[in-house]
Amino acid sequence: MEKTLILVGGGHAHMETLAHLEDFVQKGFKVIVVGPSTHHYYSGMGPGMLGKTYTPKEIRFATRHVVEKKGAIFIEDKGVRIDPDTRTLFLASGKSLSYDVISFNAGSYVPQESVMGDDNDVYPVKPIEKLMEAQARIEELTRQKKIAIAIVGGGPSSAEIAGNVRQLTRGSGFNTPDITIFAGNKFMGRFPEKVRQGVMTILQKRDIILNESGYVSQVKDKKVTLKSGETFSADFIFMALGVKPSTIFEQSGLPTGPDGGLLVNKYLQSTRYPEIFGGGDCIYFQDAPLDKVGVYAVRENPILLHNIMACLTGNPLKVFAPGGDYLLIFNLGDGLGVLKKRGIFLKGRLAFKLKDYIDRKFMKLFQAIE
């Protein structure tokens, strides 16, 4: 009886496995890929797409096309729960799928507990598809009048969104918006001071306001309210409060880390269920918690590919080594960026050019599979 492999999500950590799906099919395994969209958008280029440095086509990978081309099955749906005892994945559509081995690259989401009511002009920065909607709406509003844009969150995502909104609205026909980042008590506080100051300088020179007077308690009726009670009006609001792993693991009763991510061992394997694997933002690495950055998903790629196949064929697994220091690099719009790697620090156009080169090379590598 043939074994079934299910991949939930077609993101960065599954790219190598997707590129080698034919190896699984040729060995007689049934492979099913479940994804919420026929394409996967590279989040590292999302802010650049918002600012129109890139087109949507340049930052996406044709998941369905590649999966079907390689002899596997693609299902456009979302996994919402699994029963690890019966090895069943339940989908948002109400359907269910049985598996022998399953791997999750289910991504993360931006929490919006502070958003009250239905406000059409409040946008999370993930999924990336929302940035396309936000882009069109900002263009529409800024052609009509001068608006205030609020970005809630004090991390690099806020910085990249702010800088690229500034780039987006520099053209003729737009009223230049006021842009404010509500950054809590300290903007980019977990980063080295040199990086923090470099990003702040670039943003402030372009009239982007950094509010560090306290955390946001509520977003409602086009108003941002701080815990102090101070209120600010905004015509358009981005939510960029950091990311949390998919809720599927907690809802399934699987072992999770403190952030709700799938708890995995040194093999990127569930600590309780050896047939369950995971990578990217949706996992919590037991040995040493990892930052939610794409570099770890990229490093997990070859290990996931090997270990998924090894689990199906009964061969030894490989250990995942997270590696050392990684490249910090941000696209702040208007061709400007900030870069840090060990003792190297760059601020300005060269930093952006290096990020642009790295990102385009990464996308071309995997788009070539199409």
Paired tokens of 315: 């061969």
Bridge partners of 269, per DSSP, are 277
The closest of 349, 331, 350 to 156, measured between CA atoms, is: 331
Q: Is 314 left (phi over 0), alpha (psi -120 to 50) or beta?
A: left
CB count in 10 Å sphere of residue 347: 21
User: Distance between CA atoms of 332 and 196, rounded to whole angstroms?
Assistant: 13
Burial state string for 152-181 with b = 16 or more CB within 10 A and e = fewer than 16: bbbbbbbbbbbbbbbbbbeeeebeebebbb
CB count in 10 Å sphere of residue 338: 29
User: Distance between CA atoms of 194 and 351, rounded to whole angstroms?
Assistant: 14
Q: What is the pTM of this model?
A: 0.91
User: Distance between CA atoms of 89 and 77, rounded to whole angstroms?
Assistant: 11
The closest of 28, 29, 32, 39 to 65, measured between CA atoms, is: 39
pLDDT given at position 73? 98
Domains of the chain listed by start with CATH number: 4-36+77-109+243-326 (3.50.50.60), 122-242 (3.50.50.60)
Report whether 50 contacts 236 (CB < 8 A): no
**Which residues does the chain have with pLDDT short of 50?**
none
Burial state string for 36-63 with b = 16 or more CB within 10 A and e = fewer than 16: beebbbbbbbbbbbbbebbebebbbbbb
How far CA 91 is from CA of 9, 75, 222, 248, 280, in Å, comes to 12, 10, 35, 10, 20
User: Distance between CA atoms of 58 and 360, rounded to whole angstroms?
Assistant: 8
